[in-house]
A and B are shown apart, each in its own frame.
Chain A
Amino acid sequence: MTLLDFARGPGLQGAWLVMVGGTAWRIAGILLLRQRLHLAAPRIGFAGRVRGGLATVFTRFVPRRTFWPRIAVSVGLSSTFHLGLAVIVLGGAPHIQVIHQFFWLTWPSLPKGLVVIVSGLTLASMIALLFRRIYHPVLRLLSTTDDYLSWLLVFLPVLTGILLSGETIASYRTLLTLHILSVELMMVWLPFGKLLHVKLAFYSRAAMGMNFARKGAAT
């Protein structure tokens, strides 16, 4: 069995099962935590928890105008990186092929050249964000191994994906093997570190929004 055969077979299966099981463990653990009772009455004019929660999910996409001058660059880089990842995963023909194979869903792909350009922008924004994390004194203090490992495990699939699309440096087989293995590493790590925000970002925003709405705080 070649390494590529392993990556497309047992490696992929194992990574998928670890990701599914680990995510279920984390989400079940959070949902089953003891909820604190609200002893105070809700604020007058309280429009409902669901509405408050949903509103926060969307309002948090755009920072408050007050903060813009300070965070415009980091928000721009983060948005480029996240939107770029979405375009790569949902627009790249081979990725749609994988989704189709496992879930029977399909849609038209984007031209390869466009996906490569977006991948380049994503990679550049990730590198910039890493430098910011290293050189910003507060951010550096707050950063843990989890942050750097999560960054690396997202960076590697993007990097190997770009190399694969150009088919340079090494053979297609080598680059495809490295690309699939790097994705599998990310899948294995996803439930156990900060990458789980892929699944929890909207949940945590909604939970906060529901709480704030009840208290009448602006979200």
Chain B
Amino acid sequence: MESAETLGEVLGRRGFGRRSLLKFAIAMTSSLALPPALAPVMAANLAKAKRRSVIWLSFQECTGCLETLLRSSSPSIEALIFDFVSLDYQESLMAAAGADAERTLREAVAANKGEYLLAIDGSIPVKDGGVYSMTGGRSNLGMLSEIAADAKAVLAIGTCAAYGGIPKAYPNPTGAAGVEDLISGKPIVNIPGCPPVPEVLSGVLVHFISFGHLPELDDRKRPLAYFGTTIHDQCYRRPFYDQGKFAKSFDDEGARQGWCLFELGCKGPVTHNACASLKWNGGTSFPIESGHGCIGCSEPDFWDAGSFYTSLAGGSSAGWRNTGIALGVGVAGGLAAALSGRRKST
């Protein structure tokens, strides 16, 4: 809920001084690819910022996105930013349940009309009137339409909310769709990933709290600062790609030497995300550093884009049977053409 206390006061109480906030603002402006001159402005705005209401709706999801965000980091300013945001409705975290939870949602929407941020994780099933995922007798589609109407902006957190994700994978039995397919006329930020990088969400929140508007987005509504480059562009194994040194299996000499995983199906070259630069678990590692290629989880329809272990250079084969049929049809055609030619020449 709306609070009179500013972020500067909250941080002051927890032992973070102005210098700490300025250092954080410098790191954030760098992370968001903003001009360094904006760091003092960001610090000043953050210090003056009031608590912002966030309503979080979970639809067709696995709770992985929320789990990741909850375990994002140690008690840092980023964590306090999350604390500072007033998470007024989140079914997995809130104590209220049933009718009380419903009332909480209504009150939060009424109290912050036009000012709250709406965070969505999970895809929205639309087939058969959206009956495949309901909360309190209401379909996800109905809830989304109603609550998005009074939101300041919508954050689609995770690949499912952004593009439909795994629930949308073929044959998509529930008619799953992403937020941007269903909502128009509202600012939408997609923060894809399965799960998404937590620091990206904190970056978006900090930008919004500091400047009152969303950061610059790319053509897929992703924050450009975090999704402007591919995993491949920032991968520490990139020099091996350029040298033509590839691991051929997960246990060969190349794999032990840390060579490029392109031939083992790494989708890093076509995947936009910040994993290679921000990494996971407080900057410990990311999948490629752990020895597995990127599976492209932050790209639309990644589940249907062929095997995770087929190289981008390859593709799906037509199969020997179809090749045999093509060969047979070709030979028959050639035979017919030759016989026709012979008949004409006699």
Contact = CB atoms under 8 A, between A and B. Distances in A.
B94 interface: no
Contacts of B300: 2
Interface stretch (A20-28, A66-74, A193-201): A20-28
Given A28-B335, A112-B242, A13 B330 contact: no
Interface on chain B toward A: helix, strand, loop, or mixed SS? helix
Interface stretch (B61-69, B122-130, B145-153, B303-311): B303-311
Interface in A131-174: 167, 171-173
Nearest to A8: B315
A172 B268 CA distance: 10
B327 A111 contact: no
B244 A25 contact: no
Contacts, number: 139
Interface in B227-255: 230, 232-233, 241-244, 246
Interface string A16-51: 111011111111111111100000000000000000
Q: Size range of the interface on A?
A: 35 or more
Given A12-B316, A13-B318, A171-B230, A21 B304 contact: no
B230 A32 contact: no
B269 A20 contact: no
Interface stretch (A53-61, A89-97, A118-126): A89-97
Nearest to A177: B270
Secondary structure class of chain A's binding surface, majority of residues: helix
B217 interface: no
B34 interface: no
Contact of A8 (B314, B323, B333): B314
A1 to B, nearest CB: 7
A17 B316 CA distance: 13
A4 B296 CA distance: 13
A78 interface: no
Given A12-B315, A29-B337, A173 B244 contact: no
Given A16-B323, A28-B333, A93-B263, 17 more contacts: A5-B304, A8-B306, A8-B314, A8-B316, A13-B317, A14-B318, A17-B326, A20-B323, A25-B337, A33-B341, A93-B244, A93-B313, A97-B313, A101-B317, A110-B244, A172-B270, A176-B269
9 contacts: A1-B301, A18-B326, A24-B329, A26-B330, A28-B333, A98-B311, A109-B246, A112-B242, A112-B243
Interface of A: 1-2, 4-5, 7-9, 12-14, 16-18, 20-34, 93-95, 97-98, 101-102, 109-113, 167, 171-173, 176, 180
